């Protein structure tokens, strides 16, 4: 075998809050993401330090319009099919299905909307890969229950899962319980609806909410298998290994500890129990999660079937407090790696780091892996209807080569690849439209103005050929 295994799933990924728009349509309820502004206050709100109630009236909220996929999805999925997608990863907006979040019965308009997306995919033989929760939560659940800090959220989330698993039985095989579950430590409002009060211990609050999400995830896995034994349910991690800054053992130990901040989540979701280093961390930080005996049983019965992750960059860790984390990479600050170049947004580019991460995850878990996000955010120029995005092609080519090496040289069981933002969408960290990842350009600007017309970039044809050759022609 000189290339990817037969049946390897090629495709792309999006998230409801970054592409759908249509925020008042189809009886949808309001979500946290509808109140995350685009510009200077975005990080403060997303990280839970600024309550959206304190924002000015004239703030612009990009998720409300996004790329208006709510009205363009048929055209968009047709373009994905033209590229040859075999899988399309998208997420469900919780407040489209349960507008408040705590109702007994779901909103039929929302279910019909996603059912049509699924049916459209299936008509092109595209496998839907559904993220049940990708950075959104009904506002009512935040206001009334305090979001994921409250155990009651587990029940509301399970109701959402049961509704989806039942309604889409026979049409969908792959599910992801939470997008980048470790993001709760960095963007608690965006990831889990948490606003942190000045007198609250942010770290404790985040780990408590994470415990509730981990229980919800485990229960969802069990429920999915009960409803359809063919369902495959995965966890999803913002991944990317931490390198020691030097061979000084102190740096090596520091890198192990930094990696554990992320493994903490997947270790529990894959193995079904809190690892010993996690219990020690909680104890040393005086964090009590009140883990009950019943909780332990729930976690042990809800181990995931596959491990999915996003990969944008590696990181660097050092024990030297004088070394500043001055480089960006997703929202995790890291020490700059002098051996790597960076994107226009300062995210360091490390294709070999993807092979390293694939190996680390496979060695650790021995579960099938899916890369559900990877890509280059860049400014594209539309000239006479064309976009020559060779920089994106180069980025993706190098990362796909690293995947190929991980499969062919290292024997990693990688079963699929969905590039991030296969169609341009709103950036999660910055709220910008100009940070584009897509094979398809969307004519919209920073203020949500434009024709919303779709254009194929040069990378569109390139990816089409990659898929047609099953990764042989890069």
Judged by CB, which is closer to ligand BG6: 49, or 430?
A: 430
N residues, the chain: 474
Provide the binding-site residues for ligand BG6, judged by CB under 6 A: 15, 18, 179-180, 238, 310, 330, 373, 377, 420, 427-430, 435
Judged by CB, which is closer to ligand BG6: 18, or 318?
A: 18
CB 68 within 8 A of CB 452: yes
Judged by CB, which is closer to ligand BG6: 269, or 310?
A: 310
Judged by CB, which is closer to ligand BG6: 328, or 404?
A: 328
CB 293 within 8 A of CB 221: no
Element (H, E) at 317: strand 315-317
Distance in Å, CB of 18 to ligand BG6, minimum: 6
- Report the candidate in 187, 72, 152, 48 with the shortest Cα–Cα distance to residue 120: 72
CB 17 within 8 A of CB 429: no
Catalytic residue among 180, 200, 254, 446: 180
Distance in Å, CB of 178 to ligand BG6, minimum: 10
Distance in Å, CB of 263 to ligand BG6, minimum: 17
Alpha helices in 274-316 (DSSP H): 276-284, 293-301
Residues 114-133, buried b or exposed e (16+ Cβ, 10 A)?
beebbebbeeeebbbbbbbb
Judged by CB, which is closer to ligand BG6: 236, or 282?
A: 236
Tokens of 471: 């990764």
Judged by CB, which is closer to ligand BG6: 13, or 393?
A: 13
Judged by CB, which is closer to ligand BG6: 203, or 430?
A: 430
Distance in Å, CB of 35 to ligand BG6, minimum: 17
Tokens of 336: 């700059």
Beta-carbon neighbour count of residue 219 at 10 Å?
A: 20
**Minimal CB distance residue for ligand BG6:** 429
Distance in Å, CB of 180 to ligand BG6, minimum: 5
Q: How far apart are CA 3 and CA 98, in angstroms?
A: 44
Burial of 203 (0-12, 13-18, 19+ CB in 10 A): middle
Q: How far apart are CA 64 and CA 82, in angstroms?
A: 28
- Tell me the backbone φ, ψ of residue 220, rounded to 5 degrees: -65, -40
Element (H, E) at 213: helix 202-227
- 180 as an active site residue: the answer is yes
Distance in Å, CB of 198 to ligand BG6, minimum: 27
Distance in Å, CB of 187 to ligand BG6, minimum: 8
Catalytic residue among 20, 127, 254, 373: 373
* Sequence-separated (6 or more) residues with CB below 8 Å from residue 52: 32, 35, 36, 37, 45, 189
The residues annotated as belonging to the active site are 180, 373
């Amino acid at each position: 075998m000189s290339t990817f295994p037969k049946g390897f799933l090629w495709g792309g990924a999006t998230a409801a809050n970054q592409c759908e728009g249509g925020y008042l349509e189809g009886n949808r309820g309001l979500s946290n993401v509808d109140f995350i502004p685009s510009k200077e206050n975005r990080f403060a709100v997303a990280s839970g330090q600024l309550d959206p109630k304190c924002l000015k009236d004239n703030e612009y909220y990009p998720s409300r319009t996004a790329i208006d996929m709510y009205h363009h999805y048929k055209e968009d999925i047709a373009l994905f099919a033209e590229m040859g997608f075999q899988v399309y990863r998208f997420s469900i907006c919780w407040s489209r299905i349960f507008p408040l979040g705590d109702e007994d019965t779901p909103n039929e308009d929302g279910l019909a909307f996603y059912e049509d997306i699924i049916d459209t995919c299936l008509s092109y033989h595209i496998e839907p890969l559904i993220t049940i929760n990708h950075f959104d939560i009904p506002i009512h659940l935040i206001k009334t229950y305090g979001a994921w800090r409250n155990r009651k959220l587990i029940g509301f989330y399970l109701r959402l899962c049961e509704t989806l698993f039942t309604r889409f039985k026979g049409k969908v095989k792959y599910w992801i319980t939470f997008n980048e579950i470790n993001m709760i430590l960095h963007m608690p409002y965006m990831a889990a609806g948490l606003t942190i009060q000045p007198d609250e211990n942010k770290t404790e609050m985040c780990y408590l909410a994470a415990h509730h999400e981990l229980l919800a995830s485990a229960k969802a896995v069990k429920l999915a298998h009960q409803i359809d034994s063919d369902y495959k349910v995965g966890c999803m991690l913002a991944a990317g290994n931490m390198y020691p800054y030097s061979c000084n053992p102190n740096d090596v130990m520091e890198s192990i500890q930094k990696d554990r901040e992320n493994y903490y989540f997947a270790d529990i979701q894959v193995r079904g129990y809190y690892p010993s280093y996690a219990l020690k961390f909680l104890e040393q930080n005086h964090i009590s999660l009140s883990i009950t005996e019943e909780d332990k049983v729930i976690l042990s019965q809800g181990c995931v079937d596959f491990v999915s992750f996003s990969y944008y960059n590696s990181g660097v860790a050092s024990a030297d407090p004088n070394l500043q984390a001055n480089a960006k990479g997703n929202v995790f600050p890291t020490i700059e790696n002098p051996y790597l170049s960076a994107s226009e947004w300062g995210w360091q580019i490390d294709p070999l780091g993807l092979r390293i991460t694939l190996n680390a995850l496979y060695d650790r878990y021995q579960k099938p892996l899916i890369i559900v996000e990877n890509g280059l955010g860049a400014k594209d120029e539309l000239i006479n209807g064309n976009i020559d995005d060779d920089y994106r092609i180069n980025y993706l080519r190098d990362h796909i080569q690293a995947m190929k090496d991980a499969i062919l040289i290292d024997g990693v069981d990688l079963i699929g690849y969905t590039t991030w933002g296969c169609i341009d969408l709103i950036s999660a960290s910055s709220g910008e439209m100009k940070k584009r990842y897509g094979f398809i350009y969307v004519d919209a600007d920073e203020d949500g103005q434009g024709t919303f017309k779709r254009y194929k970039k040069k990378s569109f044809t390139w990816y089409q050929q990659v898929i047609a050759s099953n990764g042989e022609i890069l």
